[in-house]
Structure 1
Amino acid sequence: MGKPQIDIHVDDATGRWSVDALPMILVPQHFYLNNHYAIEAAVGPEKMEAILRPAGHRSAYFWCEKEAAHHGMSGIEVFHHYMRRITQRGWGQFDVLDVNPEAGTARVRLRNSAMVDEAHRNSGRKVCYMFASWLEGSLEYVAASAGRKQVLKAREVYCQAEGTHDHCLFEVNPV
């Protein structure tokens, strides 16, 4: 069984890439991480997380909304599709351990996180915190698409970069 293919469209006039009718930018991992960690060094991890949380939440919600419409998906199928796509785009391997959309709860394991490069592999701290808001936004979209208003809070329980686990674990719960 082959891996699912992702069709990338490159606009001849602009050179812009898109996947499923959403514009994309392809950048090397080191480029993204160098920028992320430079900003984090300047403002601190807590401030960096606070800055990224609203944007990550909004982006995940928007992405799920657009993908659901593009593929004719609904409900928890959209969340699983999102986990598959962020895995396919190189952010790491997101495994949904359990999810209950009605309760607003989930547990997601992240293996091979793109945020845990050689420089941060044994940093003794959580470095994958930005993914928490992605889980919130995507699951809040699932609730909203079913006519429910949920406000969720995700947290990174532990991180591979702390040096004590071979993966990261996230939990999502209602606020």
Structure 2
Amino acid sequence: MTQMAPELPIEVDAETGVWTTDALPMLYVPRHFFINNHLAVEEALGAETYAEILYHAGYKSAWHWCEKEAECHGISGVDVFEHYMKRFSQRGWGKFVTEAIDLEAGTCRVRLEHSAFVYQLGKVDRKIEYMFTGWFAGAMDQILAARGSDLRTLAEQVQSAAEEGCDVGIFITRPLTSHSQG
């Protein structure tokens, strides 16, 4: 049974047709349309180059979103990260579950169930949700900076449900080392 999600307010401006959620303009497109475009860019640039571009863009966007949402809702720390995971999960990308998070250590582990990429592409025996990695590091780093920490992180996908023998995606975030910062 499908239900409306009143906890995720979607407003549609009757005059302009602009959709907004959390005061942000949104685009509503079919999953296949987005993923077909994603794959076309990946094919043109190569997966590694595209992943790097998406990492930096996602990092910047996550930082901004977390900063604005923390301010708007008066939340901080792990609550900001959990709010971010909840909103991801409500927007059709998949269900994101924080398995572990330690802000002092700069680490977290997120499980992805019901990936939109896996639903669309199936078992392709590679990690296909790399566009999310920068989002985790950007969120962690904004939260850390808001706490006054100089610690910064790096995120990576270590498992995908698109790989044989795997049922879920796994992402980890860990601190950058002084060697990798220089």
The equivalent residue for 1:5 is 7
1: distance between equivalents of 2:114 and 2:68? 27
- DSSP 3-state at the match of 1:155: strand
Once the two structures are superposed, residues 71-114 of structure 1 have per-residue CA deviations (whole angstroms, 9 ceiling, x without a partner) of 12111100000000000111111111100011100111101111
Tell me the C-alpha RMSD between the 2 structures.
1.5
How much does 1:15 deviate? 2.0
How much does 1:4 deviate? 5.5
1: distance between equivalents of 2:174 and 2:24? 29
Q: Give the letter for the 1:92 counterpart.
A: G
1:16·1:24 contact (CA, 8 Å) conserved in 2?
yes
Tell me, which stretches of 5 or more residues in structure 1 are unaligned? none
1: distance between equivalents of 2:97 and 2:158? 15
1:108·1:171 contact (CA, 8 Å) conserved in 2?
yes
How much does 1:150 deviate? 2.3
2: distance between equivalents of 1:123 and 1:20? 34
2: distance between equivalents of 1:25 and 1:3? 17
1:20·1:70 contact (CA, 8 Å) conserved in 2?
no
1:125·1:162 contact (CA, 8 Å) conserved in 2?
yes
The equivalent residue for 2:44 is 42
Query: Which contiguous aligned blocks of 4+ residues in structure 1 show a shift greater than 4 angstroms?
Result: none
Q: TM-score, normalised by structure 1?
A: 0.93
2:144·2:152 contact (CA, 8 Å) conserved in 1?
no
The equivalent residue for 1:28 is 30
Aligned: 1:86 with 2:88: yes
How much does 1:144 deviate? 0.9
Q: Judging changes above 3 Å, is the alpha-carbon distance between structure 1 residues 4 and 76 closer, same or farther for their aligned structure 2 residues?
A: farther
Q: Judging changes above 3 Å, is the alpha-carbon distance between structure 1 residues 41 and 117 closer, same or farther for their aligned structure 2 residues?
A: farther
1: distance between equivalents of 2:104 and 2:145? 11
How much does 1:11 deviate? 2.5
Between the aligned residues of both structures, percent identity stands at 46
Tell me, which stretches of 5 or more residues in structure 2 are unaligned? 177-182
2: distance between equivalents of 1:26 and 1:50? 25
Figure out how many residues of one structure are paired with residues of the other and give that number: 173
The equivalent residue for 2:57 is 55
The equivalent residue for 1:136 is 137
1:121·1:163 contact (CA, 8 Å) conserved in 2?
no
How much does 1:14 deviate? 2.4
Q: TM-score, normalised by structure 2?
A: 0.90
Q: Give the letter for the 1:87 counterpart.
A: S
2: distance between equivalents of 1:65 and 1:11? 25
How much does 1:24 deviate? 1.1
The equivalent residue for 1:16 is 18
